[in-house]
Every structure is written in structure tokens, then in C-alpha cells.
Amino acid sequence: GWHDWIVAPPGYYAFFCNGECPYPITKHLNATNHAIVQTVMNSVDPKVPNVCCVPTTLTPISMLYMDEYEKVVLKNYRNMTVVSCG
């Protein structure tokens, strides 16, 4: 398993966003133009799917692992942990 080659961190919490962003979308949700148009379309025709909340801020994690040559490698992975949603 993972513990055979991942040295650190001992665990990983990705978190996630959940839920709909109904019309009208409030400013604090930082909606894209596409999301705004889609919510308007949904309010006119419910067959158009409503937009869902998605990550707006993500942070990196650093991982220490053993490579195929059994050397310890430190690698940073961008956009791995959800901090905020919108």
C-alpha cells in the first residue's frame, strides 16, 4: 500500500465542495460568468442543470516518498487541498 513508499505526510485531507449555488448568486461565492449565465438559464428552464459549488482556493501539499531507486524524494504538489468554495 501507500505506506510502503510514502514517508510523509502520514495522511492527506483533500476536503471537497458540496451543494448548489442557486440564482441569484451572491458576491461572496465568486461566480464565473459561465456560472452566472447557467443559473439564469436554470431559473428560466429547470432542465438546465444548476451550478454546483467548486473549489475557489486550493493549497499545495509536500510529499516525501521513496522513488523506484529507493531514494527519498521531496515533491510539492499544487492545488491539492480545498480551502474555500464558491
Q: Where are the domains of the chain?
A: 1-17+54-85, 21-51
Query: Would the pLDDT of 9 be above 90?
Result: yes
Percent of the chain clearing pLDDT 70 (strictly above): 98
| pLDDT score recorded for residue 53 | 84
Which distant-in-sequence residues (6+ apart) come within 8 Å of 78 by Cβ? 58, 60
Above 80 in pLDDT, residue 65?
Answer: yes
Check whether domain 1-17+54-85 has CATH 2.10.90.10, yes or no:
yes
pTM higher than the cut 0.85: no
Give buried/exposed letters for 42-81 (b at 16+ CB in 10 A, else e): beeeeeeebbebbbeeeeebebeeeeeeeeeeeeeeeebe
Using pLDDT thresholds of 50, 70 and 90, give the confidence band for residue 25.
confident
